[in-house]
Chains A and B, each alone.
Chain A
């Protein structure tokens, strides 16, 4: 014990300047990251503003039971899962295909131009992106509306009033915005393909297309798997921001997801405990998903996050 104390003292004496650097970061983490984690306990209490987080009485699993038994439960969980898995599939596949095709083309200048342009939308804010979406798909003045009118002679129905279109709009506008950006990492990985593999395959008579499938693609699978697991971690937390902005009373049946429901219960209806319980349920499901994805990845390939 004494030895340990002496050693700690010595280390502190030697490293105190480093700890000075860390003062503010640690203060930030404790206040703005760890303290709210303690606040999660209100999911197990009946939160009363007067009595505060620590003083409100315990309620056990009451709020979780309420959520699971509520008629919203199935709808909200299904919406979250469907939207996020659809999104995960599309935002994974499109950038990979783009990177593979991009890598085959040889005009350096053309490629540079294409890459600059397709990465640009990544920097558009969510608000403006949804704004652009609403303008483009405006049935009277938008590009979609006037093209439809020119082709068929009638104006289309309002696409934002159509609940069935919500998921496609959400996912493909996300793909439009981010495929170029997400492809950067795959394109860089493809630079690392050993040219001798290509030569060997060529001598064996493989066509360019076959080399994409048997040389390029296997080379980037570890990157794909790593990113896929990391993105599984975000499955349940699909952007509150964009969904909330695209939500309207006509598509609420498919656009109400867990995070928007948390917001509505918590900050609109001010039922803090219930909202926190729903949020916590979400985080737990999310954690299970990542761990499962990691396990599957480790079993079928050698790549895993940890």
Chain B
């Protein structure tokens, strides 16, 4: 499947009334879809920027009431939010680096038609997409390797995603011609040299794509940490969010002052809105800038085989 940028040339044909009605109906549906996505988001953001008392009284609809940054100030008093943010940044940066490196190492040989182990490796990879050990065998493995309660338990399972290897392989295959590899080989260029001199510089775009995929994955992940970590010093932001947002565990022991703890309880609702905004804002702000890479990634993934 190839994306064609060329759209049908605009033609001036008399559009009859029925068609015009249909087209405005379509525009209307798009507008409604837009509103369905936007309204809840606006409500969340407005609540986060409103006075906590107005939020608790249920006065905030789609626009901030008594604009205030108090909820944000309160959120930043939680140690857990800071620890979580720090850990998540660490997991995202360190984890993504390892992910991208190992994915390239796997995809490069697979993209070489002359490589004798190509079929074997592809099969080995495909099988992992169909079968998996399941929750308990994975848990036992992590336990056996003595990784429980270490940051490795968050990063090592899922180090390499078969899907990402396949889109990277497809990209290298289609963008770096086999003739180039052959010519380089004849000139005495070893596979190592070819990788560093040609493949890496020519694969910037796919590296950007898989980096973003992995990074978003790390930013949003809670599952491995949830299964394998007990020590909340290692918790990623998402696990703390789970406690605060879903279990309403506002850690009041974090405050020495009982009055302060009381106030926190009364502002619980508005705090949640602010936390949602703080946790999600980085991705939302970056996305429109890198949207085209993501879209390209979806296209690569849809190539069959």
Q: A: which residues have CB within 8 A of B?
A: 11-12, 14-15, 17-22, 24-26, 28-29, 31-40, 42, 53, 98, 101-102, 104-107, 110-111, 113-114, 116-121, 123-128, 130-132, 134-136, 138, 140-141, 143, 145-146, 149, 176, 179-181, 184-185, 188-189, 191-192, 195, 198, 202, 207-209, 223, 226, 233, 240-241, 245, 259, 262-263, 266-267, 272, 275-276, 279-280, 283, 287
Give the interface SS of chain A, mostly helix, strand, loop or mixed. helix
B40 touching A132, Cβ below 8 Å: yes
Whether A276 contacts B136 in the complex (CB less than 8 A), given A24-B105, A140-B58, A283-B131, comes out as: yes
Q: Mark B108-119, 1 if CB is under 8 A from A, else 0.
A: 110010111100
- A–B pairs, 15, beta carbons within 8 Å: A17-B191, A21-B191, A25-B105, A125-B219, A125-B222, A127-B220, A131-B272, A132-B40, A135-B269, A135-B272, A135-B276, A179-B33, A185-B298, A241-B223, A279-B136
B287 touching A32, Cβ below 8 Å: no
- Separation of A123 and B279 alpha carbons in the complex (Å): 11
- Separation of A202 and B16 alpha carbons in the complex (Å): 11
- Separation of A21 and B238 alpha carbons in the complex (Å): 34
**Smallest CB separation, B273 vs chain A (Å):** 6
**Smallest CB separation, B23 vs chain A (Å):** 6
How many A-B Cβ pairs are below 8 Å?
278
Judge whether B200 is part of the interface by a CB distance below 8 angstroms: no
User: Among residues 137 to 165 in chain B, which have CB atoms less than 8 Å away from a CB atom of chain A?
Assistant: 137-141, 145, 156-160, 165
Whether A207 contacts B19 in the complex (CB less than 8 A), given A40-B137, A143-B43, comes out as: yes
- Separation of A42 and B220 alpha carbons in the complex (Å): 32
A185 touching B33, Cβ below 8 Å: no
A22 touching B298, Cβ below 8 Å: no
- Residues of A contacting B186 with CB < 8 Å? none
**Smallest CB separation, B129 vs chain A (Å):** 9
Q: Mark B285-300, 1 if CB is under 8 A from A, else 0.
A: 0011001001100110
Judge whether B75 is part of the interface by a CB distance below 8 angstroms: no
Task: Give the contacting residue for A135; candidates B112, B227, B273; CB below 8 A.
Answer: B273
- Residues of B contacting A106 with CB < 8 Å? 23
- Separation of A208 and B20 alpha carbons in the complex (Å): 9
Q: Mark B93-133, 1 if CB is under 8 A from A, else 0.
A: 00000000010011011001011110001001100101111
Judge whether B4 is part of the interface by a CB distance below 8 angstroms: yes
- Residues of A contacting B19 with CB < 8 Å? 207-209
B43 touching A128, Cβ below 8 Å: no
Whether A18 contacts B112 in the complex (CB less than 8 A), given A116-B288, A127-B242, A131-B245, comes out as: yes
**Smallest CB separation, B248 vs chain A (Å):** 9
Judge whether B183 is part of the interface by a CB distance below 8 angstroms: no
**Smallest CB separation, A230 vs chain B (Å):** 10
B141 touching A104, Cβ below 8 Å: no
**Smallest CB separation, B302 vs chain A (Å):** 5
B44 touching A132, Cβ below 8 Å: yes
- Separation of A140 and B58 alpha carbons in the complex (Å): 6
Task: Give the contacting residue for A191; candidates B7, B136, B141, B216; CB below 8 A.
Answer: B7
- Separation of A184 and B222 alpha carbons in the complex (Å): 27
A130 touching B246, Cβ below 8 Å: yes
Judge whether B233 is part of the interface by a CB distance below 8 angstroms: no
Q: Mark B60-71, 1 if CB is under 8 A from A, else 0.
A: 110000000000
Judge whether B283 is part of the interface by a CB distance below 8 angstroms: yes
**Smallest CB separation, A161 vs chain B (Å):** 15
One of B24-32, B170-178, B250-258 contacting the partner: B24-32
Whether A121 contacts B26 in the complex (CB less than 8 A), given A28-B159, A127-B222, A267-B227, comes out as: no
Judge whether B56 is part of the interface by a CB distance below 8 angstroms: yes
The winner among A18, A111, A116, A267 for most chain B CB atoms within 10 A is: A18
Question: For residue A206, which residue of chain B has the nearest CB?
Answer: B19
B241 touching A21, Cβ below 8 Å: no
Q: Mark B33-49, 1 if CB is under 8 A from A, else 0.
A: 11011111101100100
B192 touching A17, Cβ below 8 Å: yes
Whether A29 contacts B124 in the complex (CB less than 8 A), given A143-B40, A272-B140, comes out as: yes
Whether A128 contacts B245 in the complex (CB less than 8 A), given A18-B191, A267-B139, comes out as: yes
Q: Mark B6-21, 1 if CB is under 8 A from A, else 0.
A: 0111000100101100
Question: For residue B227, which residue of chain A has the nearest CB?
Answer: A267
- Separation of A33 and B105 alpha carbons in the complex (Å): 17
- Separation of A212 and B273 alpha carbons in the complex (Å): 42
B44 touching A198, Cβ below 8 Å: no
- Separation of A94 and B225 alpha carbons in the complex (Å): 33
- Residues of B contacting A28 with CB < 8 Å? 102, 159-160
- Residues of B contacting A130 with CB < 8 Å? 245-246
Task: Give the contacting residue for A17; candidates B56, B124, B145, B190; CB below 8 A.
Answer: B190
**Smallest CB separation, B212 vs chain A (Å):** 10
- Separation of A136 and B41 alpha carbons in the complex (Å): 10
A21 touching B18, Cβ below 8 Å: no
A136 touching B43, Cβ below 8 Å: yes
B141 touching A36, Cβ below 8 Å: yes
B140 touching A207, Cβ below 8 Å: no
The winner among A28, A134, A283 for most chain B CB atoms within 10 A is: A28
Further pairs besides A22-B109, A28-B159, A39-B138: 16, Cβ < 8 Å: A15-B115, A21-B106, A21-B108, A22-B121, A29-B160, A38-B133, A40-B133, A114-B30, A119-B287, A119-B294, A121-B37, A123-B280, A126-B222, A143-B61, A146-B59, A208-B22
